[in-house]
Structure 1
């Protein structure tokens, strides 16, 4: 039985991970949970899984959590009372918990970076669903992985697809993953993208885009921030940077392909020109399960893929004029050093400003590009953790200040008001 620590247990990745644990109680058990502010759901998870330790990002909520657990009727109390810890230090304790075999990193944004590093330094294997770990801090994380011997297994559907395809090659040396060493025989990676909320919009019509439009994904049910990233294709640009660090290919050999059906989750081209693809219904539970069960595969009762039901698979090149964030991500990746951290933080802040309806959707790439341009003279080529954290905060502040200073395009709802 594999012992699992779940970072971000009340979020999308965390709840799906715990659903898998429930479906396979003889394969997995939960030893650690971390969460933000959703105490109601967290208490239910503690009741169901009886973890050894629970960490709250907001330390001020620890007393309330303790009171809620104490007030449960006797027949509803968890089998064990977990150790309760809080704040950044508490998250690190849960991430590096001694009895955990695998840490699922579902904390969104750079908030997940420090506990992920704590897990790596403790020698834990990771199911990585936190993009920022490699995007913002790849030069910091890769040496730590080599030092600790931790294995980093990609839980994103696209990178999981690449990883699964590589298992079918003669060069499936799993120790190479996340070392920055190119996989022999791997010529090209093709990351598939749904195209997001605006895939069927004309570029000129994006001037009319509202928050409601950008947060309506045609294929997936996701959080608002990632859905906006999908609409701008920034999510795919960030995945290009992540793929570079995971699989060691240079940026000229990592491509983005629009695939509206979201059935092929990504493809690899090998040295002999063969192309391997991983297919399945759009469901995040499959890549999460593969991380949890790897190197084995578990039989599931889940819906089987029927290609005759799908009917057709189509592919298109993404239009750089429609998706400028994609090109910004490639540029930041090629610049390297601290530039991807600035790109990621500037995007997070710009999307937050858009969701608050302070800027227009088309302002997002403008704000990101300005932050990256300003950072060029200060870019650190071989950053340490402190450098990454510093530029992350600088980029967020720079975007907020630019929004406060400038008169930018206003969302349609604001103009109507």
Structure 2
């Protein structure tokens, strides 16, 4: 039902600690018969058709993973193609006229997410050298799970994917230690992508130290198999973490530019074009933050996006890449870069030329409205800014509520906007994102 622990407990009429124990115990917990009856009743009365479909999918995936761990034959299920990424996950989004749909946000409580972050950090530290030595999930199962993590990252479902990360990271590391050479390479490749996604999520949720650890893990994994796309992706998230810290703007730019320069013109596959294009976008953002001209990097990114419109070889042996990279996303980053350069008029002019429906994911569409909101606020057009930020929140609630830029913008508006605005929707938004007037 995509509810928080507190909301779910209130609906059931039980203590929040009860639901927390169910969740933290996972398959080891068997609720008492009274609790089972409460859950059955809630499912029958409150679960929508989408809830039921999602529940059945989760059950199927959980059983498949359990059977894989215990070397039992799986029930018939849709095939998983490691090369193309066609999986049984079902986490797709609709980009038709009605907009994006199919995923509500599961907002995990702060304490729960912090506990998950500690588990993920331990998994990265241990690097597969763990006390548990039971059966490993198969490589196809891990690839399917890795792709699910990437898709959840793309739509801003940070809390949902965080539950998957620690066991996924551990199993991938174990394959790099315990499996044959061919499976080791696949595991390193998936580990580079999963570590990249982990860094993105942890930076977005404010766990910058863990985001840095994950970025370094992505780089180590990419270097283990000499992956250009993996190295570019690792440099991208490393630069992002550095840019989020004070006095490290120069380091953020150096990390992005040095990796881009080392790759040179040796970019051949779709995966490499995507990763390198995103790296140039990050370099443009870091350049603007440092007061420089970002146009060279933006031009490179534009050229890479144009290359994807022609015949480019896809690397079927790798899942590393960033499918959100395209011409529309480059246009969105130009808005972000202009905002970083304190050019709100340029942001709004660019927004007029870009339709948010053309952006590749809900998270990117939400970012479009965030940039419009920031630009409008800097022009003291607080009504337009609030409408844009509320639109962004409706598309990707978790992403927007955890955005430093949104919190800063709302905080600034709360300090200067008229009382009629701060006690209305703006005040309610401030409460939801944790801004204190």
TM-score by length of 2: 0.31
Q: Name the structure where helix makes up a greater proportion of residues.
A: 2
Q: Name the structure where strand makes up a greater proportion of residues.
A: 1
